C-alpha cells in the first residue's frame, strides 16, 4: 500500500497521509522546482520534519509562495544572527522577524556595525549556507528556556511575556501563547549543534536552501521593543529571494526607488522642507511645492463640486468633550497630542472660580461634520448629504515612525462624510468608488486593486448583525467593480469596515490611497436623525471617504511616481524661454508674455549664463517645455521645443506652439519627449 494518496496535483499540492509519517516523506515525489520547504496541516505552518498523522491532509508550501518566502527570510535572519555571534563574541540577541521583502535582526553589540562588518558577516553567512546546516526544532519548558538563555537578557524578557498582551507581532516570531521552542542549527555531517535560538519557526529544512538569492542591505539603530525608554540596539536589515535573478531585480527596484525618494527630490527641486524650528513631522511647502499642492487641491475641489459635494470648514482645535462623544478619546488617545487645559479663571488669591477645560488638536474631521449635520433638522430629501473638507489634522506619531511627507504629524485630509438612508448605501458606495477611480486616473494613477478590512472583535463597537450587513455590502460592491479584492482580516477601524483602493505606481510599488468606510456608530453617538418619507425619525448611515488620503502623502506618492517630472498641469514651472543669444530675448519674451496671459506658468531666462548651461539647469529642474529661439525662429515667427529627454521639435509656428502647450495642460498630459506632444 502507498504511504500517501495525492489528493490534488495542482498548486498548492495537498497530500493525505495513509500512515503516520513526516513531511519529507509525504512530499518526496513533489516537483523539486520550486522546492517544497514547509507544509500546512490543519491550518498550521509546520517544518517538513514534523509528524503528520494518518488521515491528515498536508498542503505543500513552496519557496516561491508568500508563506515560503516568509520562511526563507526568517531563516536568513537566523543565519545572520549566527554569523554575528561567531564574529562578535559577547553579542546578545534581540528579535529577528521576516518583514515585507526581507528580514531584520536586532543585536546588543559594543559598537555600531560598519559597512566592512556587514561584508564580513555576509562572508560568514555564505559559509553557513554552504555547510547545509539543518534547522532542528525542539520543545523546552519555561524553566529550561530560562536556564539555556541565561546569557540572553532580551530573550529572557520575551519568555516572560510569552505571547501576552505586552508582546508585539514581531516578538511573536520568538514566543507564542503555547509551548516554547528552540531551533538548533545542526551540522549535517557531524551532527553537532552549531548555534541555537529561541523561535517559534517554522524554518527551511537546511541553510543550503537559502542559495544565493539573499543579501544584507544596511544597519541602523533601533530601540528594544520599539520604545525610547529601552536600550538602543543595532539592527541589520537584509533581503532574501528564491533566486539570484529575483534578488538582482529587487535591488534594481531599490535603486530606482532611491532615485525617486520624495525626500531627496523635495530638496533638489526646492519643493518642501522640515525646519527644526517648527518640529518633527511638520512640513512647510516652498513656492514650487505650493503650486503643485494648489493644483492637486484645485482639481479635487472642482471634482467635488461636480459630484454634488458641499464644502465645509472646521477648526483645528476643540473641547475634549467632542472626542469623548465620538469615542476617539477611548480608542485613539495615544495618537492624539496631549490636552491643553484652557479657560480656567482664578481670583486674586489663586482660587479657581471657573473650572477650565481640556482642548485637543483634532486628529479627525468626522465629529465636526456630525455637528454640521445636527445643526438643523434634516429630511430624507437631502440625502445623500455629502460634506467635504480639506481639513488639517494633527496626530502624535512617534518620532521613529516619521518619514518625510508619507508619515507626518500635521496633515491635510481630503475628507468627506456622506449621510445616507439604508436603501442608499450600496449605490452610494459604488458611486464613491467610481469617483475615486476617475479622479485618481486624472492624476496619472491607473493600476488598482481593492482591499476589504473586516472587524477586529477585540477593537470594535456595534452589533454582529450591523457588521455582517456592512461587510457583505462592501464585499458585494468590491466584487462588482471587477477589480481584484483582497481580504484584510481584523483590519477595520473600531466603528465599521472599509474598502481601500490600493494603487501601483510607475515602478510597481503599492500605496494605499482612497478609503470608503461604513459607520453605524457615529450617527448613534451623536444622535443624528432625519425625517423619513413616512414621517418617522430615522438614523442615517455614515460613509467616511478619503480619496487622496492626505495631501502631504499624496504629494509624496505623485512626486515618486513621476520621479519629479510632473505632467504639465502639475509642474510648478511649465515653460521656460531660452534665447540663443541676447538679441533674441525680446522676441522670445513676447511669446512668454502671451503664455502668461493665458495662465501658463512661464518665464524667460535672460540671465548671463551660456545657452548650454541654461538647458542643463532647466532640464535638471524637470521643466516640461523649453522654448528656444534664434534667428531662423524669429524670422519665421516660430519657436523650437526642447523636451525633458533632450529631444527637440524645431520651427513650430508661435500660434501652433501656444495651442500645443494649452492643450497639454488642459488634457493633463505628461510630456517628456517630442513624441508625447
Q: Which residues belong to the active site?
A: 366, 395, 413, 415, 417, 498, 544
CA geometry: angle 118, 119, 123, nearest 5 deg? 115
3-state secondary structure of 305: helix
570-592 burial by CB neighbour count: b if 16+ within 10 A, else e?
A: bbbbbbbbbbbeeebbebbbebb
Residues 617, 620, 624, 628: is their CA dihedral positive or negative?
A: positive
Say if residues 561 and 505 touch (Cβ distance below 8 Å): yes
Torsions phi, psi of 220, nearest 5? -160, 170
388 CB burial (10 A radius; 0-12, 13-18, 19+): buried
The verdict on whether residue 194 carries a ligand-binding annotation is: no
Which residues are bridge partners to 517 per DSSP? 498, 544
In which region does residue 343 sit, left (phi positive, over 0), alpha (psi from -120 to 50) or beta (all else)? left
* Of 413, 426, 422, residue with least CA distance to 363: 413
The verdict on whether residue 199 carries a ligand-binding annotation is: no
Which residues are bridge partners to 15 per DSSP? 6, 58
Say if residues 405 and 556 touch (Cβ distance below 8 Å): yes
Say if residues 213 and 246 touch (Cβ distance below 8 Å): yes
Spell out the alpha helix ranges (H) of 455-495. Answer: 464-480
CA separation for the pair 478, 260 (Å, rounded): 32
The verdict on whether residue 417 carries a ligand-binding annotation is: yes
DSSP sequence for 579-605: ESSGGGHHHHHHHHHHHHHTT--EEE-
319 CB burial (10 A radius; 0-12, 13-18, 19+): middle
474-499 burial by CB neighbour count: b if 16+ within 10 A, else e?
A: bbebbeebeeebeeeeeebbbbbbbb
Provide the CA 52 distance to its chain's centre, in angstroms: 39
268-299 burial by CB neighbour count: b if 16+ within 10 A, else e?
A: ebebbebeeeeeebebebeebbebbbebbeeb
Within 10 angstroms of residue 221's Cβ, the number of other Cβ atoms is: 11
Torsions phi, psi of 74, nearest 5? -65, -35
CA separation for the pair 669, 467 (Å, rounded): 43
Which residues are bridge partners to 34 per DSSP? none
Q: Could you tell me which residues are annotated as the binding site for Zn(2+)?
A: 366, 417, 544
Q: Could you tell me which residues are annotated as the binding site?
A: 366, 417, 544
Amino acid at each position: 500500500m502507498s504511504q500517501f494518496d495525492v489528493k490534488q496535483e495542482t498548486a498548492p499540492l495537498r497530500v493525505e497521509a495513509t500512515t503516520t509519517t513526516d513531511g519529507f516523506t509525504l512530499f518526496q515525489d513533489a516537483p523539486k522546482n520550486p522546492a517544497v520547504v514547509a507544509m500546512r496541516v490543519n491550518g498550521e505552518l509546520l517544518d517538513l520534519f514534523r509528524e503528520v498523522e494518518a488521515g491528515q491532509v498536508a498542503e505543500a508550501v513552496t519557496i516561491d509562495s508568500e508563506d515560503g518566502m516568509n520562511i526563507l527570510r526568517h531563516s536568513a535572519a537566523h543565519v545572520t544572527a549566527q554569523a554575528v555571534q561567531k564574529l562578535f563574541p559577547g553579542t546578545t540577541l534581540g528579535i529577528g522577524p521576516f518583514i515585507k521583502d526581507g528580514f531584520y535582526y536586532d543585536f546588543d553589540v559594543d559598537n555600531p556595525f560598519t559597512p566592512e562588518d556587514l561584508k564580513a558577516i555576509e562572508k560568514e553567512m555564505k559559509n553557513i549556507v554552504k555547510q547545509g546546516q539543518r534547522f532542528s526544532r525542539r520543545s523546552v519548558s519555561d524553566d529550561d528556556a530560562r536556564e539555556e538563555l541565561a546569557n540572553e537578557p532580551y530573550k529572557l524578557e520575551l519568555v516572560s511575556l510569552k505571547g501576552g498582551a505586552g508582546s508585539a507581532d514581531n516578538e511573536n516570531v520568538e514566543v507564542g501563547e503555547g509551548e516554547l521552542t528552540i531551533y538548533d542549527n545542526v551540522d549535517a555531517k557531524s551532527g553537532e549543534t552549531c548555534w541555537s535560538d529561541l523561535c517559534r519557526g517554522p524554518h527551511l529544512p537546511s541553510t543550503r536552501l537559502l542559495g544565493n538569492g539573499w543579501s544584507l542591505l544596511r544597519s541602523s539603530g533601533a530601540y528594544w521593543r520599539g520604545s525610547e525608554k529601552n536600550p538602543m540596539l543595532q539592527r541589520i536589515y537584509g533581503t532574501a529571494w528564491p533566486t539570484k535573478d529575483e534578488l538582482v531585480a529587487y535591488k534594481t527596484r531599490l535603486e530606482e526607488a532611491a532615485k525617486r525618494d520624495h525626500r531627496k527630490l523635495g530638496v533638489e527641486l526646492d519643493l518642501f522642507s522640515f525646519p527644526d524650528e517648527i518640529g518633527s513631522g511638520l512640513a512647510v511647502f516652498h513656492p514650487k511645492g505650493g503650486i503643485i499642492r494648489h493644483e492637486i487641491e484645485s482639481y479635487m475641489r472642482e471634482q467635488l463640486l461636480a459630484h454634488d459635494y458641499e464644502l465645509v470648514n472646521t477648526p483645528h482645535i476643540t473641547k475634549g468633550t467632542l472626542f469623548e462623544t465620538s469615542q476617539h478619546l477611548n480608542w485613539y488617545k495615544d495618537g492624539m497630542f496631549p490636552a491643553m487645559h484652557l479657560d480656567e479663571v482664578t481670583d486674586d488669591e489663586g482660587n479657581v472660580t471657573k473650572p477650565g477645560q481640556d482642548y485637543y488638536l483634532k486628529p479627525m474631521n468626522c465629529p465636526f461634520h456630525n455637528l454640521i449635520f445636527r445643526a438643523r433638522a434634516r429630511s430624507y430629501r437631502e440625502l445623500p448629504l455629502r460634506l467635504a473638507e480639506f481639513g488639517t489634522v494633527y496626530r502624535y506619531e512617534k518620532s521613529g515612525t516619521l518619514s518625510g511627507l508619507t508619515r507626518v504629524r500635521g496633515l491635510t485630509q481630503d475628507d468627506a462624510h456622506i449621510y445616507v438612508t439604508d436603501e442608499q448605501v450600496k449605490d452610494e458606495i459604488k458611486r464613491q468608488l467610481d469617483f475615486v477611480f476617475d479622479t485618481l486616473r486624472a492624476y496619472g494613477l491607473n493600476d488598482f486593486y481593492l482591499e476589504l478590512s473586516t472587524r477586529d472583535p477585540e477593537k470594535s463597537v456595534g452589533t454582529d448583525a450591523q457588521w455582517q450587513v456592512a461587510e457583505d455590502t462592501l464585499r458585494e460592491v468590491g466584487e462588482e467593480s471587477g477589480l481584484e479584492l483582497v481580504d484584510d482580516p481584523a483590519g477595520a477601524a473600531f466603528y465599521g469596515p472599509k474598502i481601500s483602493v490600493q494603487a501601483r505606481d510607475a515602478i510597481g510599488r503599492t500605496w494605499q490611497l482612497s478609503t470608503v468606510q461604513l459607520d453605524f456608530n457615529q450617527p448613534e453617538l451623536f444622535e443624528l436623525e432625519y425625517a423619513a418619507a413616512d414621517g418617522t425619525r430615522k438614523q442615517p448611515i455614515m460613509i467616511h471617504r478619503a480619496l487622496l488620503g492626505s495631501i502631504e502623502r499624496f504629494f509624496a506618492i505623485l512626486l515618486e511616481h513621476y520621479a519629479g517630472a510632473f505632467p504639465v498641469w502639475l509642474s510648478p514651472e511649465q515653460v521656460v524661454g531660452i534665447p540663443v543669444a541676447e538679441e533674441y530675448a525680446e522676441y522670445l519674451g513676447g511669446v512668454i508674455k502671451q503664455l502668461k496671459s493665458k495662465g501658463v506658468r512661464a518665464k524667460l531666462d535672460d540671465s548671463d549664463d551660456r545657452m548650454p548651461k541654461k538647458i542643463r539647469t532647466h532640464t535638471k529642474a524637470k521643466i516640461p517645455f523649453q522654448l528656444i529661439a534664434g534667428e531662423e525662429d524669429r524670422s519665421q515667427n516660430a519657436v523650437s521645443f526642447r523636451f525633458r529627454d533632450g529631444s527637440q521639435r524645431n520651427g513650430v509656428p508661435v500660434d501652433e506652439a501656444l495651442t500645443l502647450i494649452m492643450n497639454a495642460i488642459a488634457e493633463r498630459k505628461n510630456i517628456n519627449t517630442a513624441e508625447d506632444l
